[in-house]
Amino acid sequence: MTGIQLRIMNLAHKAPLLATTSSHSALNLGNAAGAYLGGVTLNTLGIASIPWLASGLALLALCGAMGQLSLHPQR
């Protein structure tokens, strides 16, 4: 978590505190979305489909991280 906050504070020069607060909100939203998607998947497709959902979400997160790194390469 600290690494995320430092990166955001370095990128958001004008409002770093607002940016770190927004990152916490995004993480909370991600937790809620994961729980919701897990519940829907469990109810509709069964417990055997949970690993497929987890793999898809991990792949989505990896694509997001790679996209973010391509937009803002490290120095």
Terminal Cα-to-Cα distance of the chain (whole angstroms):
20
pLDDT at res. 49: 96
Provide the pLDDT for residue 1.
62
C-alpha 19/C-alpha 38 separation (Å) is 28
Distance CA 46, CA 23 (A): 32
Nearest to 45 by CA among 37, 55, 56: 37
Cα(40)–Cα(19) distance, integer angstroms? 31
| 15-53 per-position pLDDT tens digit | 888 888 888 898 899 999 999 999 999 999 999 999 999
Please give the average per-residue pLDDT across 50-69, as a whole number: 94
pLDDT higher than threshold 80 for residue 57: yes
* pLDDT band with cut points at 50, 70 and 90 for residue 75: low
